[in-house]
Amino acid sequence: RVLFRSLTSFVQKRFRYKPGAVQLYVERVVARNLCAMAQAEALKAKLFQGVQVRRAATGLIRSAMEAGAKGCEVLVGGKVKGQRAKTMKFRDGYMIKSGTAHKTFVDHAIRHCHLRAGTIGVQIRIMLPQDPENIRGPSAQLPDVITVLPPKEQI
């Protein structure tokens, strides 16, 4: 409750709204493991705790795939270990990267972790499953899905 009020006042001051002009509404995330933003924040928290990058990223990918994601990709860049900066890429499953279907089916989030050694960037992409109820993923089908209909009876 207190956090919610402070968040409202922060938005109000940042965008220079009059007092009482801002109202925020919060909804619970239905499938937390399929939300890239929630997973990015979880990975960021694990990196602050000192968990190894490879272990944290693979655990995140495993939880997303067990939740029903078609694919997951985690990119971690910066001074991961040692003085030299590098980018580590962890993937599993099926991921589309181009076309309009990418905007519909792929959830994307970027976060920055300011650690003692330097800043580490975290980028997460989760390919959502097709869901007719539109709860865990989009209700539309991928454009490359082919459905074979049974043959018509000939008269």
pLDDT tens digits along 26-62: 888 888 899 999 999 999 999 999 999 999 999 999 9
> From CA 138, how far away is CA 125, in angstroms rounded?
15
Mean pLDDT (the chain) is: 90
AA identity, residue 96: I
Q: Model-level pTM greater than 0.85?
A: no
Nearest residue to 76 via CA among 32, 119, 128: 119
Q: How many residues does the chain have?
A: 155
> From CA 59, how far away is CA 23, in angstroms rounded?
36
